Chain A
Amino acid sequence: MSEHLITPEAVGAPTAHCASCPIYNSAQLVKLGIDITGYDYVVALAGNPNTGKSTVFNALTGLRQHTGNWSGKTVSRAEGGFRFRERRYKLLDLPGTYSLLSTSTDEEVARDFILFGRPDVTVVVVDATRLERNLNLALQVLAITERVVVALNLVDEARRHGIEVDARSLTRDLGVPVVPMAARRGEGVPELLAAVADVASGAYPTRPRRLPLRDPEIERAVAALTPQIEAAFPGLPNARWVALRLLDGDESIARAVADGTLGAAVAPPPLPVAA
């Protein structure tokens, strides 16, 4: 195993809120039950069940973590923190799911957090031995947010099966960093931290792969609806996805559009008041 030249450090006591704090979505996060006091960035961990999400979580946060439930839900939640390159990151482990579209509570929790919580980075942990299956969720996440890093985990297991994943091509195809990892052995952790930091700060401009619709009729409907959603929610990063969900009859998204929950995250950060 390689030397860890870069390691996450435990987060110390919360410091005063900084004026240049990148987190601008605190109201929505508070509504989702997340306290971001003392943190610069929020990072969510998504992934299919059993891809090593908890292992990645532990590798990043060490013992600085606690567990509870998502507010109002019986779905358990782990949260923790780490510090990297002078920035403090809050990390949330989302429920393991195959999708963000179906009706299970787990999927709703994961989807709502990415959609309304607007994490600065969503790390999608994928299983290198089952890439085809895992990319379904990765592409769904990319449809909602462009701030994504793919943690290509279990590469040791894949190697044992004679599978070598070309992470560089996958990075190009998905338009976001893909970091090969064997999280249980700590391999790839420094590289994951660097990728998360670069996407969080904007130093790595992502170009998320978004799938075209094959049905011209649906494409026309989406093209008609998307600008209306953009007009209602200026700056919304996923108007096209919202349009598709509305056309699909997704009631919870329709509610979020009607009551404004969808747009609450869009407000620009309050300007620091000059003394």
Chain B
Amino acid sequence: MLLEKANLLVIDDEEIVRNSCTKILTEEGHVVRGAENGDQGLNVFKEFHPDLVLIDLKMPGKSGMEVLEELESADPDVVKIVITGYATVSSALDAMKRGAYDFIPKPFSPDELVLVVTRGLEKRRLLMEKKALLIGQEKIRRNMVSLVSHELRAPIAATVQYLEVILEGVAGEVSSEAEELIHRCDERLREMLELINKWINLAVFDPIKLAEHFEDVNLSEMALKSMELLKSSADKKKVRLSLEAQKNVPVIAGSKICLEEVFNNLIGNAIKYNRKKGRVAVKIYEQGNDVCFEVNDNGIGIEKENLPRIFDEFYRVDGRRTSPIQGSGLGLAIVKTMVDAHGGAISVDSRFGDGTSFKIRLPKVIHLEKGS
């Protein structure tokens, strides 16, 4: 439907060819722009966003073949058709190897032109559909889980949005008690959104795919960023955060988004399960082939018998001390998954009533075997 009226670009040095193409194709309902040489064509291409480009192979200056190649690397989804002089089949074939979808030999009749362009636009439509499908589906339908997550999120998001409109007073005055209740609704629903996100992310996590996007990561920078993010919640409990990073610690190969998650969860826990005026000390240092970081707190600690379960999904240590603290029990499960995906290891040491210490080692270089 969106291609009935397409943007077409004709790059040809012969004015008469450009004009006749423009006339014929405009009558077909398309928007046509002409360019008299390759450089001009490339410029028009950038701001005109054509669906299809007709390129004369034989032009003075930049050759049609070069233009074709540049357009192909700029956007392979734009359909390119070459105009060849006196039916030189070999150059047409050559052009098709370099990304042309079709060719049309000069001279051509209006009907021939329309036919080739129509075929090209059909191809364009398919390419666009495929692209759109990839875009929309890649993330969302690759897994049924993600689709369900969208369907779960949508009604909650719509409800939260209404609540916030009400809280803004846009729908009329709200009594202070009602406001408090609506705030609670809002918070509870946002927690639910968080929970859905966390659970889905864990369910569809793919370590192999992640490793393909590894980059150099400076752990000290990551720690600082996370401490900055969590500073306000630490301040609320008057918990003191400190960082002790060895100088010139080597970078590791990893995913920043994931490691951010690791730091935020560990430091977040160390604050959450701490006491008023407690301390959280983060340490980063090199050890053999690994870079290590520790998150130490002098908070409530974990009883020995509960330690083995803290990395389980949805596990939370029960007991009076932790129950008023909100959480889903997914944080450490995520941390463990992330650390494993980086080829690292996590260990924990805790004394009930005294404090907890998490230590993570991440290899400086990671060899992740594909398909394992």
Q: Do A and B bind each other?
A: no
